Amino acid sequence: MLRTAAKEFIGGVDEAGRGSVIGPLVVAGISIGENGISLLHELGIRDSKTLTPIARKSLFESIVQLSSSLYISKITCYEIDSYVFLNGLNELEAMAMAEVINNIRADTIYVDACDINLKRYKNKIKKYLLMVPRPNICCLHHADSLNVVVSAASIVAKIIRDKEIERIRENYHDIGSGYPSDKRTMIFIKNWVTRYKSAPYFARKSWKPVRIMLEQVPGTTDDKLRGLMHGPYRKVLNL
């Protein structure tokens, strides 16, 4: 990777796929020398949601080249379900963001916060930070549109998330966009539940529309208790 000559490195962290009903939640972080921030502006880096897929793909390659470090965390549907059933999705995302922060080199890191309470979310992240000294963490709402480094991270997260959805689409075809607002996505899941008496492994059973489908089809298996009581999540949340 190309490195920009600078004494201070700035980091940005963002996610893609939080509201989706299909596929993982992806958290991405990058760091860049402060002198390289102007290059991000020159490239036209902005919030990934405002860019076309072609523009995102082109900018992704430039971001990778300019970044001094880059790290991606993928959160599976099973992990998401385990935390949503405990009203702990923000905690899970904070853990993933801390994992990313622990693996990028930056002095100050800007984070797109999902919690309405910025201080609370910052403290959630800090609980899971391992490095010493710790970087300065700045939590912001809409950071992906306010900070160009977070915008760059949002593009990385979106590209990786789209690749994950494309892998699912290659195997299962007409899954739609993966979001609950997409009729094709919900028809796909409904047909799957009707046929197999369970939700797809790549769908989030904790999302209300999927829970309703599972409740309406006789003979389905409810994974709620298994999600609550199985695996490492029980230790993390002190159940």
Same domain, 30 and 108: yes
Among residues 129, 164, 199, the one where a domain terminates is 164
230-233: long-range contacts (C-beta < 8 A, 24 or more apart)? 230/82, 231/82, 233/79, 233/82, 233/83
146 in the same domain as 51: yes
**Which positions ≥6 away from 132 have C-beta within 8 Å?**
none
Q: pLDDT value at position 132?
A: 83
**Residues 97, 49 share a domain:** yes
| In a domain? residue 194 | yes
> What φ, ψ does residue 198 adopt, rounded to 5°?
-160, 165
146, 187: one domain: no
Q: What's the confidence (pLDDT) of residue 1?
A: 40
Same domain, 32 and 126: yes
Same domain, 77 and 194: no
Please indicate, yes or no, whether residues 46 and 122 belong to a single structural domain of this protein.
yes
Q: Which of 147, 164, 181 is the last residue of a domain?
A: 164
H helix or E strand, kind and range, residue 1: none
pLDDT-derived band of residue 72, with 50, 70 and 90 as boundaries?
Answer: very high
Is 225 a residue whose pLDDT tops 70? no
Asked if residue 2 belongs to a domain, the reply is no
Contact 8, 103 (CB under 8 A): no
Residues 26-40 pLDDT 10s: 999 999 998 899 999
Q: How many domains does the chain have?
A: 2
Q: How does residue 209 score in pLDDT terms, banded at 50, 70 and 90?
A: very high
Q: What is the CATH number of the domain that holds 177?
A: 1.10.10.460
Q: Which residues contact 58 (CB under 8 A, 6 or more apart)?
A: none
- Same domain flag for 41 and 147: yes
b/e per residue 106-127 (b: at least 16 CB within 10 A): bebbbbbbbbeeeeebbebbee
DSSP H or E run through 108: strand 108-112
CB atoms within 10 A of CB 38: 11
CATH classification of the domain holding 84: 3.30.420.10
Question: Domain limits at 126?
Answer: 9-164
Separation CA 63–CA 187 (nearest Å):
36
Q: What is the pLDDT of residue 220?
A: 72
Structural contact between residues 203 and 77, judged by C-beta atoms closer than 8 angstroms: yes
pLDDT for the residue numbered 221: 65
Rounded CA-CA distance 85/91 in Å is 12
Q: What is the model's pLDDT at position 236?
A: 36
Residue 41 lies inside a defined structural domain of this protein: yes
Domain boundary among 145, 164, 183: 164
Q: Is the pLDDT of residue 120 over 50?
A: yes
Indicate whether 133 and 177 sit together in one domain: no
Provide the b/e sequence for 65-92 (b: ≥16 CB within 10 Å).
Answer: ebbbbbbbbbbebbbbbbbbbbebbbbb
